[in-house]
Amino acid sequence: MKSHTVYLTFHTQKRKEMVPITEQVEQIIRDSGVQEGLALVSAMHITAAVIVNDYEPGLWQDIMEWAEKVAPENPNYRHHRTGEDNGDAHLKNILMHSQVVIPITRGKFDAGPWQQIFYMEFDGQRDKRLLVKVIGE
């Protein structure tokens, strides 16, 4: 069994941002040489997430607005008593999840017709890492 690990770094321009990463993940899969297996795509920060969804900017805005309604910015989060100001970002991570596992078939991301991979940042404007670990034959 092969294993291939790559770390990507993101530094978003906005504090909250959705970043398409399908092409980068597909290149990592190609570089791994794995033909049949799985790829773990994992945000290495508890204020970011990784999702699979449609590549459609209106939907991205809907997702971010929905997350804001469910876990709004709020100065009264108990987490802020520690000196932080990102309590909402931690909650949004729980909503979206920090990682996805995607199938690899014949050396490619075996996706549905509209499936794309996104890195979601909720406390950005600084360096954040993402892990892509490809395992298979």
- Please state, in angstroms and rounded to a whole number, the distance separating the CA atoms of residues 52 and 22: 9
| Torsion sign (Cα): 58, 24, 132, 114 | positive
CB 3 within 8 A of CB 104: no
**What CATH topology corresponds to 2-75+83-136?**
Jelly Rolls (2.60.120)
The model's pLDDT over 11-69, given as tens digits with 9 standing for 90+, comes to 999 999 999 999 999 999 999 999 999 999 999 999 999 999 999 999 999 999 999 99
The predicted model scores a pTM of 0.95
Q: Which of 22, 31, 6, 54 has the alpha carbon at shortest distance from 119?
A: 22
The model's pLDDT over 66-119, given as tens digits with 9 standing for 90+, comes to 999 999 999 999 999 999 999 999 999 999 999 999 999 999 999 999 999 999
